[in-house]
Amino acid sequence: MRKIYLILALVLVVTVFSSCYDNAKPVVIDSEYTEETTTESQTQSTTEGKLNAEVETIKVATDPTTPKKPKKKKKKETEPLPTQGVVQPGRRIVVTTVSGSVNSNDMDFVYVTSIIKLNESMNSVFEKLGEDNISSELPKNKMEYDYSDFVMTSYVDAKGVERLEKIDILTEDVGTVKGAKIGSYGTELKRLYGEPNLYKGNTVTYTKGSSNLTFAVEDNLVTSITYLYNH
């Protein structure tokens, strides 16, 4: 009889122990599961938040009603004055300050460093430029001297002195003391010399005393330049 009680006691102990073990195990599992579920939920929430933010950014960028930031306007650079028709220093011509009017020095012809004046004696001119190899005798005691870039015409005064009467510029390599040359814009002349004294056909003439400076202009381009002394 005692053995039966002992066996029943052992069975009861084993049953109670097993029950306690089974009850404790789900608690641990539930804890870990809860923690993992919470972490996964937080990660999913963070990811969804980033996606939503990116979607909102794209919507704003593509929404035509979204005001755009005004573009900064570039500062307008000052346009330089046209260089067409202005002989640069070192091109056989001395460029003087533009004044928009005519003075006596504007009637001088400058070649390299030599200043040639209308009505100057040809002996003086030859001393400065050298006598050319090509000369032609013209009617009325006049002579023509060809210096390639320009041609000079002389006359003989009442005292028998040969003097410079006319200069015709032939190439764009030389020009006036204010920088006008063959190929210059006709509209530049007014800026350089002011209002002409005479319009005749396609020519404009500036006068100072007995000296004239005449420009022929075609299609707004200077085609010839002539210095002339009225004696």
Burial (CB count <10 Å: 0-12, 13-18, 19+), residue 98: middle
Domain assignment present for residue 126? The answer is yes
Q: Which are the contacts of 112, defined by CB distance < 8 A and separation ≥ 6?
A: 92
Burial (CB count <10 Å: 0-12, 13-18, 19+), residue 185: middle
Domain assignment present for residue 61? The answer is no
Domain assignment present for residue 119? The answer is yes
- pTM here? 0.58
Q: Which are the contacts of 143, defined by CB distance < 8 A and separation ≥ 6?
A: 122, 135, 136, 137, 153, 154, 162
Parent domain of 119 = 104-229
**Domain of residue 131, CATH code:** 3.40.33.10
Distance in angstroms between the alpha carbons of the first and the last residue of the chain: 170
Domain assignment present for residue 83? The answer is no
Same domain, residue pair 20 and 111: no
Chain segment 14-61, per-residue pLDDT in tens = 665 555 555 544 444 444 444 444 455 555 555 555 556 555 555 545
Same domain, residue pair 135 and 201: yes
Chain segment 159-217, per-residue pLDDT in tens = 999 999 999 999 999 999 999 999 999 999 999 999 999 999 999 999 999 999 999 99
Same domain, residue pair 39 and 111: no
| Domain count within the chain | 2
